[in-house]
Amino acid sequence: MNYELRLYLDRLTAKSAPLELKKTHARALYIVEGSLAIKNGVSTSLTLSQNSAIFIPELFTLSGGNVEATVLRWELVDEVDSPNEIQATQSTLLLAAKIALGDLSQYILRCDRVDFPPQGEALTHKHQGGGIRCLLFGSIQIHTMGNIHPYQPEGAWFEAGPDPVYAETDKVLASAFARVMILPKTLIGGKTSIEYVNEDDINKPKTQRYQIFIDELLQNR
């Protein structure tokens, strides 16, 4: 079945009024800056702070915390669904990408962050599933399919998975991106999804470092 993975950038003012988000197949929120208050149902509520994430596909409400918040919100939806933009200070659809999946129960949603030092690189590789990345700081150039795509903070891009990718980051500054990938459920528990194209690269030192926030099984709605 054809689905669409969408990435929104939401900006909320401090202690903003509650905003309701409808149920979807899968949703991940990553807090770039500030804090966010979430309420699911009558009694369950929590506050998330910077560099944290949550998986919450069901209907829920959110509001700004004690300070302004910048949030990345990924949603896996039916291709025909209308955009789920919210009445925040600013809510922007950064990127939408079609993704073909079978039985959703055979997949996981993984949300993680990848950090690089200055002059970092990700050697030519593939992944076992598609996903959308968003640069948090620094800069990055993505080499794929004979093209080079540069990105600055809040720049988003889709990687299908099987297409080989080489990445190089800022020469002076550290760089990092957050991402959500839809992966086979056999990788649950933080098992790596990366496959290096050149056998000689497998045992070379790697500059990237990973922080996994979410590894959650999907369910058919």
Can you give the CATH number for the domain in which 64 is found? 2.60.120.10
For the chain, helix (H) and strand (E) counts, in that order, are: 0, 19
Q: How many domains does the chain have?
A: 2
Q: Is 166 found in the same domain as 129?
A: yes
pLDDT in the model for residue 97: 96
- Of 101, 130, 158, the residue that ends a domain is 101
Q: Which residue has the tokens 């079609």?
A: 98
pLDDT at 16 over 80: no
Question: At residue 32, does pLDDT exceed 80?
Answer: yes
Q: Is the same domain home to 112 and 213?
A: yes
Q: Is 87's pLDDT higher than 80?
A: no
Residues 6 and 76 in one domain: yes
* Coil/strand/helix, residue 185: helix
Examine the domain organization and report whether 96 and 128 are in the same domain.
Answer: no
3-state class of 105 per DSSP? helix
Full-model pTM: 0.93
Domain range for 36 is: 2-101
Looking at 78, 101, 124, the residue that finishes a domain is 101
